[in-house]
Amino acid sequence: MPRYKLTIEYDGAPFVGWQRQDNGASVQGALEDAARAFCGESVAVAGAGRTDAGVHARGQVAHIDLARERPTDTIRDALNFHLKPHPVSVVAVEPVAADFHARFSAIGRRYLYRILNRRAPPALGRGQVWHVGPALDADAMARAARVLVGHHDFNSFRSAACQAASSLKTLDRLDVTRAGDEIGVEAAARSFLHNQVRILVGTLRLVGEGKWTADNVTAALAARDRTRAGPTAPPDGLCLVEVTYGSAANGRHQAEDASDGE
């Protein structure tokens, strides 16, 4: 059976998350329904990561197996036709080797969290940013973020519902930048714990408000206790920007525990 890699973007607001569930519409479910309408067969869609309810993506990756080969443009256009009116778009389709796996072959994931930092609420992009009215010190947030980069036990920065076997992760990047009224927090790693990015952002907000310092963040990391870190930021501002892959098609033995989701 030919295998195809899909690059997908979506607005996560109307969904219960990426993963198909019984309690509401999911991105995975919308894609599987569209694939069934297109080719008349039951198609399983395997994603690179399980984003939570309300989390967006502009670079989610998935793979599907079809009964026979079809032109990639035909697959893309047919899926998008049947995805209407869901806010989901298949941006690109490409053939891949049979041992490619969207989740297990991934060697990197990059998220961007957007904070709108001004008194006035957003009229445009509502649901795409976290609106924080009080002024935040982005430079202080950036300095505090540096203590979190590297290989650490991030137990303080994962949800109680996280199912990962280990809380040891390597955070490759955690950059905080300001452009006008918007603060962006960009996080990159091979894989993430459940809610890790949102808890990191919620913690950095405390620093931006002057309530915490970088030393407090260091202490929270060392505590390995969820109650010692900051609150979980809302899902609105979080977007899965990119999933990267190495030259080897089969990454089952390359990745850290990738059972994470944001």
* 3-class secondary-structure state, position 207: helix
Pairing, β 56-65 against β 238-245: parallel
85 prior amide bond cis, ω within 30: yes
DSSP 8-state secondary structure symbol assigned to residue 17: B
Q: How many residues does the chain have?
A: 262
Instruction: Name the strand (E) or helix (H) holding 64.
Output: strand 56-65
Instruction: Name the strand (E) or helix (H) holding 151.
Output: strand 150-153
Q: Which of 11, 52, 236, 260 is flagged as catalytic?
A: 52
Between CA 93 and CA 160 the distance in angstroms is 36
Nearest to 30 by CA among 14, 41, 48: 14
Pairing, β 106-117 against β 182-189: antiparallel
Q: For residue 181, indicate whether it is catalytic.
A: no
Which residue reads 């069934």 in tokens? Answer: 36
Catalytic residue ranges? 52
